[in-house]
Structure 1
Amino acid sequence: MAALPLLLALLIRGMASAAHHPRLPRHRPSCHMVQMSVVVCSNLSLTGAPVNLPPGIETLDLSHNQVQNLTRDTLAYRTDLRHLNLHSNKIHFIQPGLFEDMTNLKILDLSRNHLNVFALTKNKIGTLAAVETLDLSSNGLYTGMSDFLIADSPSLVELSLNSNSITKIAQNTFRGALSLRKVSLHNNVILEIEDGAFDSLDCLTELDLSKNSITCITDFNLSRLKVLNLSKNSLEIFQSTRLTDVYDLVFLDLSENKLPCFPLLPANNSIQHLDLSRNQLQSVNMTDTPERKTHVVLNHLRYLDLSYNQLKDIPQSFFHTMTSLEVLNVSNNCIDSFLIVDKDLLPAVKIINLNYNSLQRLSFGEATLQSLKELLLRGNDLSTLEQQTLQRLPSLNLLQLQENNLRVCPWDTKPCPSDHNRLHPPDCVYFSCIPNLKYLYLSQNNLKSLPFSAFADTPLTLLDLSLNPGLEMHPDSLSGLEHTLVHLFLRENNISKLNTELSSLRSLRLVDLSTNQLTSLPAWSKESSIETLNLHNNSLVTLEHSTMIALERSLKTLYVGSNPLSCCGNLGFLHLVQHSTVVVPDIETVTCLLREDSEPVNIEKVSREMCHSPKKVNYIIVVVVFVLFAMIMSGLMVKYCKSRKRKHVRRFIA
């Protein structure tokens, strides 16, 4: 009980001390200046703009906060802003007339709020005097609600109503914003567009109606429009009936719809980009009946995408007016024959993509497709090509022929362009004398052999022969590529021995021999230029010391995991891994065996000392030494005993 007054005194003293030294409140995260005129107050759980912001601010970011009521007080009576970002708040009320005094405000972002609640009151927000860009996306707005928000927007140029629930575009939807140039209605549920809905927008040049539920456009008449996106709708018809009017349309995206035939486009058009991919096109006729064929000039068209349709044939006449076309994509269709015979067809085309069709015949006439740089023929049924088909393409730089069923013609029967007397052997393709071909892909062609000088006079820098199980390469199959070939891919070919001389390829930088059955490597000369070598997943036990020394001079990256390597039979490779600058990306899977019956050890944990066998003990010498030692000890014991006995006798006589 005597200690109680003392404890009470200490408690009072502590309370007094706390009163003189109060705990400082924790500082809440504050806004920060990005530039002299830009303030970011994002993600601070604010219900309004801070009142102590410095003067001269032009941009205020209040996104991702808790603003609910947008009033003059909420904005701290700021009227000098040029850019106001209120994205991702909870705004459901806007004070009418709030923006009338904000005569400098050009950009207003109100996306991801609850403005549908405000629109239900049918009150207008008042004049947006100077606003040029307005984002109202993701506000739960449905048909007619946007009218209350843009009813008086004389300067509005760009409007986003993306990701709302609008089902109809009415004639009066944009009557309060007649200066609009760009309107985006992506990701709504628009089913209907009233006639004349956009007619009052004389300045409109970009319209995005993608990802809606529009089924037909029967009278496209927006002649001043330059960009129109109608992708991801349910369009079954698109046509312009005013064929004589001049249209400014440059970009038209009709992809991912249900169009059964080519759209009926304005005759006088400026279209450069036309995307019709992922529709239900079965022909390129512009109407569904042959007797109503209509021809439209597309001489400005540069990009045409017809991929992922049901086309079985594309007649040459289809390309007659496409004199500017540079990219043609007709991949993933059902085309079995593609012919370009007329030299005036597709004079500017640079890329033709015919991947994944049913091609059995491909023919290019003489002097055709002189600008073609890339020809993509992957995943077809090609087994041969007509003689000189590839040699006639002077600009061809890249050729994809994966997943076909080709056989490579040998050099000794190959006619170059100057040799017209030799017979064309059946069922094979010539890959020599293609003047500018640099990239050739022949994987998955069921190739069984690669003949002598198969690519002579073709300046290949990349050659892919992968995934041709059982491929046998002539020792000189790559002859002619000594000074050009940089990348060589031979993976997954079940190769057990590589008999092709690679050291003669002076420019070779990358070789991929992964997933084969190689038991040894060919000898590389000291002048090897290989920088990346992939030997992953083979049957290699030893890597010759001389080969490793030769490769080490240029090698930078080596893949060698998943091989049954011997630890002590690869001391040269061990030194390369542990002491050189060569990078082994799959080092964790590189293991070796110290002995045949031992468990695999990671190559990084192996040392030379592990491979030094302990000296064998010579048991005969040990036995001899032991016997000699025993004899010496026995002799000494006998001598010692005799001397002891003589001393004992003498002592007895005395």
Structure 2
Amino acid sequence: MFAGLVKLTTLILSNNRICSIEDSAFTHLHSLKYLSLAGNQLTALSKELFQGVKGITHLALGTNRITAITKDMFQNLPNLKYLDLQNNSVIAIEKEFLFHLTTLQFLNLENSINSTNGTFFDQESLYCSELSFYDGSLEGITYSGNILDISWNSKNNRNLSEYNIVDKQVYSNHCSLESLELAGNGISFIKRETLLGLASLTSLNLANNLISTIEDGSFSYLRLLKSLDLSHNQLQRVTKEDLKNLFHLTYLNLLQNSIDSIGNHTFSQTTSLEELILGYNGIDSLENSLFINLSALKELDLSGNKLGLLEKQIFQQLGRLTSLFLQSNSIVTIEDSVFSKLKNLKQLDLSRNRLALIKNESFKGLSYLTRLNLKHNSITYIEDASFSELHELLILNLAQNGLTLITKEMLQGLHSLTELHLNNNSIYSIGSTLFSDLWGLKYLDLTANSIHLLKEYAFSVLRVLEELYMDNNSIKVIPYRAFYELTEVTTL
């Protein structure tokens, strides 16, 4: 069939209706490296099928109807690195089938194994660096690879604890494991001995479970852990004991739990943290020294909580922070100089709060800030020079507030600004000198205000402006020179 294709390295026969293949079909394809038979109707494969194609490194057999994996099925593929068997209907596996695959790095059995007692991998039988395995138990498996993915695992709608994956020490044979994916299961608690034996683990994903309880010290054995994802669970608290010995942790995700408060010393041992996500919990206050040990932190997400006040001391130790997300809280006021120590901050999101006033000390010290989002607050007044220290600011969003008047002094110092969003306010006039400091502005949105008065030369200083939006206002007369020198505008 393929005779003469001696230089062929890639053969893709996926998503057809192939139900059988002659044993000699690939015999002459000595250069073949990649073979995809995915998305067909194959029910069985013989060992003779792969004679003559020993160079294959990638074999895709997913989404077929394969019912059995025999011990000699892949014996003629000594160089195989990637084997995809997902979405089949396997009811029988001969446990020796991997003995010949000494170079295997990735094995995907997701949604394939319909019946197993969880012991079909004998000791020393599995050496691939990544395993995706959805059904069954880990008991009896020796896995010496680096990545183990058993996320979104379900069998007859039962959770993983019924397979003894999280309620006892089942990882003692997995000492080389570096990444463990357990997301999207029915896990409701983590015991202290659950993760024993995983001393090499650097990444642990427990997101999208039902975890409400973590026994003290459950992660204390994971001294090399760098990434821990506990998002979308039911945790009501997180303590110092939960994070004990995690000195190398750089990423911690606690998004969308039910945490309402965090103790002062919770992060005392996570001194390497660079990204901390606490969004969409029920946190209503922050202790002044909560972040005192997090001098390496670069990104902090506190969005979607119940914070009402930001006190001056709270961010004082976060000098390396580059992104701070505080949107969707209940913040009413910003204390003077609360952000003054955040010398490296580039992105600040305060949208969807209850701010009514912006003071000239509110953003003091943020000389490297490039994005400031104040959208959807209740801001009615901005003190003069409130943004005067924001020399690097590129995007300022003041949309959906209660502003009736914008003056030149309010926008003083914004020489680098390229985008200004003032839409959905109640601004009634645009003066001739209003934008005199905004030399670099390219985008200006004044949509849905109450503008009825436009002065001549109102936009003349905006010589690089490309987009100007003024629809849904009350303009009756446009002065003859209102858009004088706007030679770069493409949208008006």
| Residue of structure 1 in register with 2:296 after alignment | 371
After superposition, the C-alpha distances for 1:473-505 in whole angstroms (9 at most, x for unaligned) are 33x242633744443322122323223523654
Conserved? CA contact 1:125–1:148, under 8 Å: no
Q: Structure 1, residues 46-95: CA drift from partner, whole Å, max 9, x if none?
A: xxxx4354322233222223322122343365355332221222222423
Matches within 5 A, 1:182-221: 182-185=130-133, 188=134, 190-193=135-138, 195-196=139-140, 198-199=141-142, 201=143, 203-213=144-154, 214-215=160-161, 216-217=165-166, 218-219=168-169, 220-221=171-172
Q: Which residue of 2 aligns with 1:273?
A: 227
CA distance 1:235–1:400, change in 2 (3 Å):
closer
Q: Which residue of 1 aligns with 2:88?
A: 139
Q: What one-letter code is carried by the residue in structure 2 that aligns with 1:363?
A: N
Post-superposition offset of 1:520: 1.5
CA 1:176 to 1:61, structure 2 compared with 1: closer, same or farther past 3 Å?
A: farther
The reply to whether residue 114 of structure 1 matches residue 69 of structure 2 is no
2:470 pairs with 1:583: no
Correspondences of 1:457-536 after superposition (within 5 Å): 457-459=365-367, 460-469=369-378, 471-474=380-383, 476-478=384-386, 480-481=388-389, 483-501=391-409, 502=411, 505-524=414-433, 528-529=438-439, 530-536=441-447
C-alpha contact 1:533 1:557 (8 A) present in aligned 2: yes
SS at match of 2:388: coil
TM-score (norm 2): 0.82
Higher relative contact order (CA 8 A, sep 6+): 2
Hey, what's the Cα distance between the residues in 1 that align with 2:437 and 2:107? Answer: 64
Amino acid at match of 1:539: S
2:37 matched to which residue of 1? 86
Shift of 1:582: 0.1
Instruction: Indicate the structure (1 or 2) with the bigger Cα radius of gyration.
Output: 1
1:103 corresponds to 2:54: yes
Q: Sort the Cα spacing of 1:497 and 1:96 in 2 relative to 1 into closer, same or farther, 3 A.
A: closer
Q: Which amino acid aligns with 2:203?
A: F
Q: Which residue of 1 aligns with 2:258?
A: 310
Contact 1:453 1:480 in 2 (8 A): no
- Alpha carbons of structure 1 residues 251 and 523: separation in structure 2 relative to 1, 3 Å: same
Distance in 2 between the 1:262 and 1:366 partners?
Answer: 22
User: What residue identity is the alignment partner of 2:320?
Assistant: S
Matches within 5 A, 1:251-266: 251-262=203-214, 264-265=218-219
CA-CA distance at 1:256 after TM superposition: 1.7
1:569 paired to 2:478? yes
Matched residues in 2 for 1:115 and 1:429: separation? 67
1:155: how far off? 4.5
CA distance in 1, matches of 2:63, 2:337: 60
| SS of structure 2 residue aligned to 1:545 | coil
Instruction: Confirm or deny: 8 A CA contact 2:376 2:401 kept in the other structure.
Output: yes
Q: C-alpha offsets along residues 298-337 of structure 1, whole Å, 9 cap, x if unaligned?
A: 222222222222334433444343232322223223xxxx
SS for the counterpart of 2:86 is: coil
Separation in 1, partners of 2:318, 2:339:
12
Contact 1:209–1:230 (CA under 8 A) maintained in structure 2 = yes
Contact 2:273 2:296 in 1 (8 A): no
State the distance in 2 between where 1:313 and 1:276 align: 16
Q: 1:170 aligned to 108, 118, 124, which one? A: 118
Partner of 1:329: 277
CA deviation map 1:503-522 (0-9, x unaligned)? 65433332211012222202
Structure 1 residues 535-594: Cα deviation after superposition (integer angstroms, max 9, x where no partner): 11122345322213333x23222112223433x6344357778xx33021xx5xxxxxxx
| Greater helix share, structure number | 1
Q: Secondary structure at the match of 1:363?
A: coil
Deviation per residue, 1:583-623 (Å, 9 max, x gap) = 21xx5xxxxxxxxxxxxxxxxxxxxxxxxxxxxxxxxxxxx
**Structure 1 partner of 2:307:** 382
Structure 2 residue identity aligned to 1:250: T
**Is the 1:154–1:177 contact (alpha carbons within 8 Å) kept by the matching residues of 2?**
no
**Structure 2: how far apart are the matches of 1:395 and 1:80?**
52
3-state DSSP of counterpart to 1:362? coil
* Alpha carbons of structure 1 residues 73 and 528: separation in structure 2 relative to 1, 3 Å: same
Distance in structure 2 (CA, Å) of the matches to 1:169 and 1:549: 77
* Equivalent residue letter for 2:388: G
Counterpart position of 2:16: 65
Percent identity over paired residues: 26
Q: Deviations over 1:264-316 (max 9, x none)?
A: 24626422212122223234469xxxxxx898522222222222223344334
Q: Deviations over 1:139-166 (max 9, x none)?
A: 2224x34758657545444321122244
| CA deviation string 1:426-457 (max 9, x = no partner) | xx454474461454433333333334554445
Task: For 1:555 and 1:294, locate their aligned partners in 2 and report how far apart those are by CA, in whole Å.
Answer: 52
Over the aligned positions, Cα root-mean-square deviation in angstroms equals 3.6
Partners of 1:393 and 1:183 in 2: how far apart? 39
- Maintained 8 Å contact 1:167/1:192: no
Amino acid at match of 1:262: I
- Distance in 2, matches of 1:318 and 1:389, equals 15
What residue number does 1:414 align with?
Answer: none
Contact kept in structure 1, 2:24 and 2:49, CA below 8 Å: no
Aligned to 2:157: none
Whichever residue aligns with residue 260 of structure 1, its letter is S
Distance 2:183 2:444 in 1: 45
AA matched with 1:112: T
Please tell me whether the aligned partners of residues 431 and 458 of structure 1 are also in contact (alpha carbons under 8 angstroms). Answer: no
Distance 1:520 1:377 in 2: 36
State whether residues 450 and 477 of structure 1, in contact with CA within 8 Å, keep that contact through their aligned partners in structure 2: no
Distance 1:537 1:282, change over 3 A: closer
Please point out which of 292, 297, 300 is paired with 2:248: 300
State the alpha-carbon separation in 2 of the partners of residues 360 and 283 from structure 1: 14
